[in-house]
Amino acid sequence: MKLRFSRKTLCIPYAVFLVFFVIVPMLVILVYAFTDRNMGFSFGNFVKFFSDPTKLSTIVYSIVIALITTAVCLLIAYPVAYILARSKMKQKHVVLMLFVVPMWINFVLRVNAIREIFNWIGLLGEANYFNTVFGMVYDFLPFMILPLYTTLMKIDGSLYEAAADLGGSAFNGFMRVTLPLSLPGVMSGVTMVFLPSMTNYVVSDMLGNSMVTIVGKFIYEYFGSDWHMGSMVALILLIVVFISTWLTGGFQSEENVRGANL
Amino acid sequence: MRKEIAIKCLKAAFIGLILLLLYAPILLLAVYSFLSTDIIGTGGSFSFVHYEKLFADPVILEMIGNTLLLAFLAALLSTVLGTLGALGMFYCKKRTKALIHGASQIPVINAEIVTALALAITFVSVGIGKSYFTMLIGHMVICTPFVVLSVMPKLKQMDGSLYEAALDLGASPFKALWKVVLPQIIPGVISGFMLAITLSLDDYIVTVYTRPNGFETISTYVFNATMRGNAHTAETLSSFWALTTIIFLVIVLFVVCSNLAGRKKKEGSK
């Protein structure tokens, strides 16, 4: 019997790849998180992590930094995306492109550029938390602008006219038409910014003069000393990610999140 | 009328201000990369000294080469794997498709550091250790899902009956995929490849956790140089100004060229 070629079989290499390098590593983390150094089952890591007051206060700091970063990004990105999406300018995708281009410069070199400026104006080492938040906003802003722009572009223009025809003021139209319809974009932008703000310690190390510790840095420190604790922190982050994804109903327009289809 | 113009100006000013803030650090470095000083804020005369230093330092040249080769390999392999994966998934049953898609989304939504730690612990636990291979796998894990995501929409837009028509006309399934399906999804494949390149070039965290000893990319090298410092830190740091400027210029050139090419194509099709 001749083996018939089926197009479905094309996904086998990728499926195998995912099992070995995505699923299995997640299971390995799960195992490490709930075992002690002798590989016996234990809740010890969990208890140890949450009973350390310095760890807990760092987590609170880290969450506050991420919240402020996300809020500032949203406050800047929403007007930008809104103005661009509603603009009748022909070349508006060129302006959008201008917001994405810096993102293609190497991430560490970009952070280094801000570091040089802070060094020049004397902020480096003086205002660690401000520097960290500034750097994160600078780096993650496009992640917020792109999904917002995509959702705002999708809104049917006649809805604005309808709102105006029905006597709604511009402000009312925005609050009752634009804002609710753009919420999916807000959600996906918020998740895209919040998570790296909590975990990407490159920014906090380089701009916070190593004085600002965020959750991601714990994992780095544990990687050198205690894999079980490191896996526990990673697992907690993983659970947070899954819950927030589930709450926001998955990610819409992921393919455009990093400016792929501009 | 006057109010409308004022609002328009205000909007343009806001966009302009944010763009100015985004570009100021890069442009400042670009200016200083052509001055003969190692300290930003001080004066200097026009010179290529930072560029000369950049191209005279074998360590820096090696890490640039490392970064480019790694990005190219990772993007190429990710594009092949991801395109095949997207094709296969597209024709799978709904449940299988949802399952693979779900697994594929894990590295996309996950914090990069969790992906990196999980891979590193797994590689070391099963005794593979860390090598160029494990680092390449690490980069593929973060790149391939994005290739899948950029190919998928093109598959959905594709006219499915063309494949059947090709089979009816006697083409083998492979030939039909190659000659009929691939040309329709190629824009997605190309943007997936480009996305994979930028993701790999940008990566710091996965590289640090999965790389072999002594291997440096631009990200790891610059991070270490700024954080730890060494005997000639000021000199090294100022050669990064030149590097940043070169990368920026290459990107601008690429964007302008691809925009012009895109415009020509549009005019041609009119």
pLDDT on residue A156: 77
Query: Which one has a higher pLDDT value, A122 or B235?
Result: A122
Choose among B15, B26, B96: nearest Cβ to A113. B26
Q: How far does CA B85 lie from the centroid of its chain?
A: 20
The helix, strand and coil proportions of chain A, stated in percent and rounded to the nearest 5, come to 80, 0, 20
CA distance linking residue A236 with residue A127, whole number of Å = 30
Evaluate whether B189 touches B83 at the Cβ level (below 8 Å). Answer: yes
- Closest residue of A to B77, CA-based? A14
Evaluate whether A140 touches A192 at the Cβ level (below 8 Å). Answer: yes
Q: Is residue A26 part of a domain?
A: no
pLDDT on residue B261: 82
Q: Is residue A37 part of a domain?
A: no
pLDDT on residue A253: 43
Full 3-state SS string of A130-163: HHHHHHHHHHHHHHHHHHHHHHHHHCCHHHHHHH
Q: Is residue A103 part of a domain?
A: yes
Q: Does A110 touch chain B (CB under 8 A)?
A: yes
Evaluate whether B105 touches B168 at the Cβ level (below 8 Å). Answer: no
Look up the domain containing A170 and give its range: 46-260
Is pTM, for the whole model, over 0.90? Answer: no
**Can you spell out the DSSP letters for A36-47?**
-TTS-B-SHHHH
Residues of chain A positioned with their CB less than 8 A from the CB of B223: 108, 202, 205-206
Residue A62 to chain B, least CA–CA distance (Å)? 14
Is A109 in contact with B104 (Cβ distance < 8 A)? no
Q: What's the structural domain count of chain A?
A: 1
CATH code, domain carrying A154: 1.10.3720.10
Q: Is residue A67 part of a domain?
A: yes
ipTM: 0.87
pLDDT on residue B38: 77
In this prediction, residues B30-53 reach a mean pLDDT of 83
Handedness of CA A196, A202, A208, A214 (dihedral sign): positive
Q: Is residue A13 part of a domain?
A: no
Q: What is the pLDDT along chain A (262 residues), one digit of tens a residue?
A: 445 567 888 889 999 999 999 999 999 999 999 888 777 788 878 888 888 888 888 888 889 999 999 999 999 999 999 999 888 887 788 888 888 888 888 899 999 999 988 888 888 888 889 999 999 999 999 989 998 998 888 887 777 777 777 877 777 777 777 888 888 888 888 888 998 898 889 999 989 888 888 888 888 888 888 888 889 989 988 888 888 777 766 554 444 445 444 4
Q: Is residue A40 part of a domain?
A: no
Is A261 in contact with B150 (Cβ distance < 8 A)? yes
Is A138 in contact with B21 (Cβ distance < 8 A)? yes
Query: For the CA atoms of chain A, what is the radius of gyration?
Result: 22
The predicted-structure confidence for B143-186, as pLDDT tens digits, reads as follows 999 999 999 999 988 887 888 888 888 888 888 888 888 889 99
Q: Is residue A1 part of a domain?
A: no
Q: Is residue A94 part of a domain?
A: yes
